[in-house]
Amino acid sequence: MTMRVLMFTPFLPPNAGGIALAVHHLTQGLVEEGANVCAAAPGRHNPQLESTLYNVYRFAIPRGTWRFHLEDHVFAWFLKRAVRASRPDVIHAHNAIPTGSACVRLPRACGIPVVLTCHGEDIQSLPELNRGYRLVPRHSARIAAAIARADALVALTPDMRQDYLDAGSAATHITIIPNAIAPTAPERTLRADARRRLEIDDKAFVILAVGRNIPEKGFAFLLQALGHLAQSPQPVVTLICGRDVTQLKSEVATRNPGPDLRLFDHAAPLGQPSRCPPGTPSMEELYAAADILVMPSLVEAMGLVTAEAMAAGLPVVAFDSPGTRHVVQAGLTGLLVPARSARQLAEAIEDLRRDPQKRQSLGAMGAKAARRYDRRTVARSHLDLYEKLIRTNERILT
């Protein structure tokens, strides 16, 4: 009998954020493994920009919902409608609020087990940067209720498992399963084409960094590190891509990090239709053109970009920070340096710039290690968890 799964998520493509892409890749992997999946998410249905491999149930958020803190009620109402429409064997909620907290309002009499995956800010805390919803009392109570209601919790990394424990979860309720990535990685043979389209000298050393322009992504440390890089006869090009990164221009002028720094607010994600402006590069092009990925983030849920870059054969230079340290294997798939040390970040970048053979070795190992993030592999781990919960639930009901 085909398993029916309802994905309940605040984001879904064409949104290009990490949660949307993680849910999309997992959902497609589940379908490829034989499951019947419906994804419920707010937004307008657009067949041209949504997957045809799984059903999508869209709903609109009424005006005033967020202003009057009615999101749990609104999401719960739509969840009940989605449950009636899809008749799932299991509900998989993504993010503790508002989707996870909305599940609290779903009567247990429905007899449907609930899996919850937190994706970062909803469970992680970084008090020095005022990051994390658990630092806000109203949100903290909702997150605690969502975690307590869930029949199982998925932690993307061991660091996140500890976050669940700190939030009051029982260890027996937590299963570590990483996010999934697109099944096809850019071929390194596309390097010349990608560099030609991006107008980058084939002899240049290209640094890539990807993420939203927010403090915890650590771009300030990267800009500082670029200023520390030794002068070299080899041209160095730095590409930074992510929402609002063009706002870094003022900081770039202050820090003077280098002569060839390019900022992109948009890039078409891997394996997804794009609604980015014309002339926008694709992530495939950026990965193909780059020599290394630099991940200066101070905290990550897991880091889809890091896993994608590894799958594309790129060595990674990253801060030894929560989430990232469990994706990058120091000395095997990349280099980890102490968090917030711009000078050591620069030294690691320079180390790889000077050693093409080391870059090739780390990149090859990274491509092998990234196989664990293949969407069908990740989907099978989720299916094992779903089946266990369904069997347990059937015993309870009988």
In our burial notation (b when 16+ CB lie closer than 10 A, e otherwise), range 261-297 reads bbbbbbbbbbbbebebeeeebbbbbbbbbbbbbbbbb
Residue ranges and CATH numbers for the domains of the chain are: 4-180+374-397 (3.40.50.2000), 188-372 (3.40.50.2000)
Say what the pLDDT of residue 135 is.
92
What distance in Å separates the CA atoms of residue 104 and residue 284, rounded to the nearest whole number?
A: 40
What pLDDT is attached to residue 212? 93
Question: Which pLDDT score, from 0 to 100, does residue 15 have?
Answer: 83
pLDDT at 109: 47
- Residue 269: the pLDDT is 85
Q: What confidence score (pLDDT) does residue 381 get? A: 98
Q: Which residues pair with 337 in a beta bridge?
A: 319
Give the model's pLDDT for residue 45: 78
pLDDT at 128: 85
DSSP H or E segment with residue 287: helix 283-289
- Which mean pLDDT values do the consecutive 10-residue runs of the chain (398 residues) have? 94 88 95 96 78 87 94 94 94 97 77 94 89 92 94 97 94 97 66 92 96 94 88 89 90 72 89 68 93 96 94 96 96 96 96 97 96 96 97 71
Q: How confident is the model at residue 48, as a pLDDT?
A: 64
Residue 14: per-residue pLDDT: 83
